[in-house]
Amino acid sequence: MNTLCRQNSSVESAALEQETILFHSPTNRFYVLNSTSSFIWSRIKEPATPNQIAEDLGRNFQGVIADDASRDVENTIQEMLALGLAEAAQ
């Protein structure tokens, strides 16, 4: 997946130690992101592809295997898109 993704502007976020709490106002739902998902969330504040995010993840977290990072970022982005937390960027 090389589609540019970004945060959905209708989602509010707040940092909480190593995690991030998201509030999706259209569905009135809260989500708690772990540290890796929080990194991905912060990275899509500006449009980025999953490949770019996976490379950044490998540079910022020790012991990350490139193939695992790519798969995990892709899965996380797909879930964020499905939940309406992220959107494709132009």
The Cα–Cα gap between 15 and 81 comes to 20
- pLDDT over 90 at 66, yes or no: no
Round the average pLDDT of the chain to a whole number and report it: 92
- pLDDT over 80 at 90, yes or no: no
Res. 1 pLDDT band, cuts 50 70 90: low
- What domains sit in the chain, N to C, each tagged with a CATH number? 7-85 (1.10.10)
CB burial class (10 A; 0-12, 13-18, 19+) of residue 30?
A: exposed
The Cα–Cα gap between 83 and 66 comes to 26
Q: Alpha helix (H) ranges present in the chain?
A: 35-43, 50-60, 66-83
Predicted confidence (pLDDT) per residue in 20-58, tens digit: 999 999 999 999 999 999 999 999 999 999 999 999 988
In three-state secondary structure terms, 3 is: coil
pTM beyond 0.85: yes
Contact 18, 30 (CB under 8 A): no
